[in-house]
Amino acid sequence: MSQIPATPIRQTFLILLIAGIFGVLFWNLYYFVPALLGAYTLYVLLRSPLFFLTERWHWGKKLAAGILMLLSFVVILLPFNWVFSLLSSRIVSLFQNSDTLLASIEQVVRKIETQYQISLLTPENLKNLSDWSVHRVQHILSATVSGLGLFVVMYFILWFMLTEGKKMEQSFFEWLPLRHENVLYVRKHLNDMVWANALGIPLMGVVQGLAGFLIYWLADVPDPWLWFAVTFVSGMMPVVGVSLAYVPLGLLLLANGDEGKALVVVLYGIIVVGSVDNIARMWFLKTINQTHPLITLFGVVAGLQLFGFIGFVFGPILISLLLMLLHIYHKEFHFKA
């Protein structure tokens, strides 16, 4: 009677033990996962400047890390906080105090229904839509408030990543249970993935937000900076994109009796901002890295549920990471007979 070799049994037991401990730690430290992802994202973006300052200019590691962290705070955190403040202070109140607005929109809809003999909305549907919108916005913003608290933890982790530098990278990639060529693949594609999502997606929002702000300012739209923030956020969402900004704005202007402004804003959004969307998406995402729109779409949806506003970046990274791991598994263990 043949016996099972002892080595596979010990190996299986060790893998189960590692997986069990990892599961317990992940379950209890799940709150800090976005902070870890954010720290690694910033590390990838700051990696080249860090090595330039320490190796070319011979700066101390702590000095270089401190300067780069300060710059990232000013360039990333402060604009993010400004956008969040605009959205959190005004969008929720807009939905919560929208009885007059809903009545005006309903009046416009009724005119369309009477003119074209169609049925679009019922009062119940309008009320349900408003309640659903309030619930979703509050959920995202509450998750975002938690996400803001994670920035402290994120920068704490980032400090150790920057000061350790190449030593940390070498240790991490040496611990991967993969062949050398697959380790190189992981290193390259992980960095490309972070650059594509962490830089490309926000740049999409900035470009489309600036394009939208031009017409908001020229058309004398009330509170143009708020609609810039809305366009910036919606511009990071593929498929529907900035239509989530100019369509509601057009409805608001139409409900207030500004038919001319509403027409100009919607047409400008479809023709100009929509074209900017297509051109910028082709340019940025193909120049930095090719990220499929469906990955971005589903990643944004999942990221918003998990992390709040910062899920716009981390969600697509998670899905891209999953696909990369599946590809690595195929390369590592798929053998032809």
pLDDT tens digits, one per residue of 2-27 = 566 667 777 788 888 888 998 888 88
Closest CA to 202 of 229, 176, 172: 229
Residue pair 296/320 in contact by the 8 Å Cβ criterion: no
Give me the pLDDT at residue 126, please.
56
225-254 tens-digit pLDDT: 888 888 888 887 766 677 878 888 887 787
Closest CA to 307 of 3, 35, 59, 67: 35
Closest CA to 319 of 286, 287, 297, 334: 297
Band (pLDDT 50/70/90 cuts) for residue 64 is very high
Band (pLDDT 50/70/90 cuts) for residue 337 is very low
Report how far residue 185's alpha carbon sits from residue 329's, in angstroms, rounded to the nearest whole number: 12
Residue pair 44/198 in contact by the 8 Å Cβ criterion: yes
Exposure class string for 91-122: b at 16+ Cβ within 10 A, else e:
beeebeebeebbebbbeebeeeeeeeeeeebe
Closest CA to 256 of 107, 94, 122, 96: 107
Report how far residue 207's alpha carbon sits from residue 285's, in angstroms, rounded to the nearest whole number: 13
CA dihedral angle for residue 180, residue 193, residue 280, residue 226, rounded to 10 degrees: -170
Count of alpha carbons within 13 angstroms of residue 74, beta-carbon side: 5
- Reported pTM: 0.73
In this prediction, residues 120-137 reach a mean pLDDT of 58
Give me the pLDDT at residue 123, please.
57
- Residue 325: burial class (beta carbons within 10 Å; 0-12, 13-18, 19+): exposed
Q: 44 versus 301: which is more confidently predicted?
A: 44
Using the predicted structure, report yes or no on whether residue 187 has a pLDDT greater than 50.
Answer: yes
Band (pLDDT 50/70/90 cuts) for residue 69 is very high
Give me the pLDDT at residue 67, please.
94
- pLDDT exceeding 90 applies to what percent of the chain? 6
Give me the pLDDT at residue 172, please.
75
Closest CA to 61 of 47, 72, 74: 47
Using the predicted structure, report yes or no on whether residue 92 has a pLDDT greater than 50.
Answer: yes
Q: Residue type for 246, please?
A: Y
Give me the pLDDT at residue 22, please.
84
Give me the pLDDT at residue 259, please.
81
Report how far residue 139's alpha carbon sits from residue 293's, in angstroms, rounded to the nearest whole number: 24
Using the predicted structure, report yes or no on whether residue 154 has a pLDDT greater than 60.
Answer: yes
Q: 231 versus 87: which is more confidently predicted?
A: 231
- pLDDT exceeding 70 applies to what percent of the chain? 70
Band (pLDDT 50/70/90 cuts) for residue 336 is very low
273-314 tens-digit pLDDT: 877 776 766 666 556 655 666 777 788 778 777 766 667 777
Using the predicted structure, report yes or no on whether residue 121 has a pLDDT greater than 60.
Answer: no
Closest CA to 49 of 24, 29, 70: 70
Give me the pLDDT at residue 242, please.
79
Closest CA to 161 of 58, 28, 52, 69: 69
Give me the pLDDT at residue 159, please.
92
